[in-house]
A and B are shown apart, each in its own frame.
Chain A
Amino acid sequence: MDYKAVKEFVVEKAILVCGLVSIIGVILIFFFLLREGGSFFLKVPLSEFLTGKNWYPTSTPPQFGILPLLLGSLIVTGGAVLLAVPLGVCGAIFIAEVAKGSLKEFLKSGVELIQAIPSVVLGFLGAKVLGAYVMDWFGLDTGLTAFTASLLLAFMALPTIISVMEDAVTAVPHRYRESAIAMGATRWQTIYRVVLPAAASGMAAAIMLGIGRAIGETMVVAMASGNAAIIPKSIFDPVKTLTATIATEMGEATGTHALALFAIAIVLFAITLLVNVTADFLIHRKRVK
């Protein structure tokens, strides 16, 4: 048996093993999540869990209503998306279509640099510096609010949105632009009538990735949102998100409380799945049409 065939065999099996390990890993995670979270729902019904207005996991008797946490997550993430998407679209178009030469290079490396900031650093800066400003600007009692966390999350999601979107816009073939210009379109008309529609599915993917980043990000939110599990009246109230709840409470949680955190994890999992499926659907539908 020659060397080449042996090598082929070894590589093939190694790839197979790696693949199996990762799949088994995912299945195990899913299994434990369901087992732990499932046993929580034997004690507290799902409807009470989802619609309960009070999250008092340590009082007697404990109350496990995650409505305030759901709202907290929704406001923080939604706010971040509302800020990051328009900024990201503009940034990506600017870098891909307008900026030239060294300015373009500078902006691209700037975006990469932001991406490289560890989220704990950003959370720290946000809580200490941005929080103080937010408190001043809006005359609040505390700077740690849903708004502060949204700003930071938007900042974190931006590089993902910009870089993926910039690739999508740049990938639009030159000949579409050329024929638009030859028909008398201005540069801006060419961009918004031809280039952007042509890049639409890639841009949607960029936005979904950005949203995914914002949903999954925990550290910044835990540090800057104020961590108050109350139903917020405005974006300038402190909130507590689903992710931050797990991160901040898992250390001391025991018994039912610990199981409740698993149940939150299942909710998070379901939300992420929903976002991904929606993204897939949007992107795919665009392409087929």
Chain B
Amino acid sequence: MDKYLMDTAALEPVAQIKIKTTNLDLFYGDFQALINVNMEIAANKITALIGPSGCGKSTLLRVFNRMNDLIEECQVTGTVLIDDQDIYLPGTDLIDLRKKVGMVFQRPNPFPLSIYENIVFGLKVHGLARKSELDYHVEQSLKEVMLWDKLKDKLHRNALSLTLEQQQRLCIARLLPVKPDIILMDEPCSSLDPVSTQRVEELMKVLKEEYTIVIVTHNMAQAARVSEEAGFMLLGQLVEFGRTSQIFTTPKDKRTEDYITGRYG
């Protein structure tokens, strides 16, 4: 009997856990921005964080690459495991962490350098740049974000001359040469028009084959379109976390339901 149960469990395709937080609290000085967050983010899926503005979505996202460390009075307690490694242990190599966990920001922010330099930046910074391989990485990365055909003759143009959508794709492309596992996206489409948004969403679906993607969005339709799992946040708490289809059709929490049906802003 026991043995039988174990066998079926082994047969179930168990999603591998990429990021796991336990009793995570975060304070900006006296203000508690994250309250006891417990979640497990699956590898090679798109996980969306939704919730009204100011509820702590960006803060949570920035826990995963420790960008909150730049804020002086920011304090984190609890554990955050990435691939079973506690990234808040003293002595954690932040440079390695950020190589493994890339981030795309709300406003496209390529460096004011050439397209080429933007893409090889990561390689140079991490000492992985072998002269002979740079061209190869530029081509591969641009191909992955479907920019290569458009830009292959303009690689030495300033990246700021691109359209916003292209800039945002470039910001994704420049993460790829150092082979990250996780890509964090903080409202990556909020400055793009609907058509560009749709194309970037399609790109995400392609990328999740290789990368774990966590996307913050306050656009619920977007979360419904792209994500497989979703977390609803409110006032620093993770109110509900589960399969996106379940969150949107049969939310367990009243507050989630209220938000989904448009009772908050």
Contact = CB atoms under 8 A, between A and B. Distances in A.
Main secondary structure of the interface of A (DSSP, over half): helix
Contacts of B178: 183-184
Given A193-B125, A198-B111, A198-B112, A184 B95 contact: yes
Interface stretch (B37-45, B98-106, B224-232): B98-106
Interface string A176-194: 1011111111100100011
B112 A183 contact: no
Contacts of A110: none
Contact of A176 (B94, B97, B99, B109): B109
A7 interface: no
Interface in B100-128: 102-103, 105, 107, 109, 111-113, 121-122, 124-126
Interchain residue pairs A-B with the least CB separation, the first 4: A184-B98, A182-B103, A175-B109, A184-B99
A178 to B, nearest CB: 7
Nearest to A175: B109
B138 interface: no
Contacts of A184: 94-99, 122, 125-126, 178
B112 A197 contact: yes
Nearest to A179: B109
Interface in A116-170: none
Nearest to B110: A179
Nearest to A288: B158
B190 to A, nearest CB: 14
Nearest to A185: B125
Contacts of B126: 184
6 contacts: A176-B111, A178-B67, A183-B98, A184-B125, A185-B125, A197-B113
A176 B67 contact: no
Interface residues of A, number: 18
A197 B107 CA distance: 21
Contact of B65 (A175, A180, A182, A194): A182
Nearest to B65: A182
A289 interface: yes
A186 B67 CA distance: 13
A180 B112 CA distance: 12
A188 to B, nearest CB: 11
Contacts of A189: 125
B51 to A, nearest CB: 22
Interface residues of B, number: 27
B123 to A, nearest CB: 10
A150 to B, nearest CB: 35
A182 B68 CA distance: 10
Contacts of A289: 158
B124 A193 contact: yes
B24 to A, nearest CB: 20
A182 B111 contact: no
Contact of B112 (A176, A178, A181, A182): A176
Interface string B145-180: 000000000000010000000000001001100100
B70 interface: yes
A81 B171 CA distance: 39
Contact of A181 (B67, B102, B122): B67
B125 A179 contact: no
Nearest to A172: B112
A175 B121 contact: no
B98 A182 contact: yes
A186 B95 contact: yes
Nearest to B174: A183
Contacts of B103: 179, 182-183
Contacts of B112: 176, 197-198
A11 to B, nearest CB: 39
Contacts of A175: 105, 107, 109
A194 B112 CA distance: 8
B1 to A, nearest CB: 51
Given A183-B125, A184-B97, 16 more contacts: A173-B109, A175-B105, A176-B111, A178-B109, A180-B121, A181-B98, A182-B102, A182-B103, A183-B174, A184-B95, A184-B96, A184-B99, A185-B125, A193-B124, A194-B111, A198-B111
